[in-house]
Amino acid sequence: MVTAVVIPILCLYFFWITRKEMKLNDSKWIASAEVAKEAVLTGEIISINKEKQRFYYHRFILLYELSIQTETKLIKAKKIVPIRNNTEMATFSIGDVVRIYGSWVGNHFHFNEYQQVHIDKK
């Protein structure tokens, strides 16, 4: 008699905990792409690394790592995109000059918005 009451209560409790954890991780997954626009960098893309990573169970992120040569030094920049059904893939090409907006996190520059800059070569 006790097991007929305790087992369903335990199942509902673990279901509730799992659901709460999934909602928390879904909000973290979506927030992973949000970056404060505190700084601006402009430079030429030297190398590109694109990698798909697991974020949480069935949630994935697309990580772009760019090496950008500015006027003064070489900078590593990262762009994180949560992969959804309607996700647009960014198109970066080596040699493009880009202006990126983001913030510094450690030694890497995290960004989520960028523009291609057209420079007149004389």
Distance between CA 83 and CA 70 in Å, rounded? 29
pTM of the complete model: 0.81
57 in the Ramachandran plot: left (φ > 0), alpha (ψ -120 to 50) or beta? left
- Is 45 in a helix, a strand, or coil? strand
Q: Are 101 and 117 in contact (CB under 8 A)?
A: no
Q: pLDDT grade, residue 94 (50/70/90)?
A: very high
The full length of the chain comes to 122
Q: What is the pLDDT of residues 35-44, one digit of tens each?
A: 999 999 999 9
Q: What pLDDT does residue 121 have?
A: 57
pLDDT greater than 70 at residue 122: no
Q: What is the pLDDT of residues 24-64, one digit of tens each?
A: 999 999 999 999 999 999 999 999 999 999 998 889 999 99
Among the listed residues 112, 65, 108, the one whose alpha carbon sits nearest the alpha carbon of residue 88: 112
Architecture of domain 39-116: Beta Barrel (2.40)
pLDDT greater than 80 at residue 1: no
Average pLDDT value for residue range 78-99: 90
- Residue written as tokens 């927030």? 31
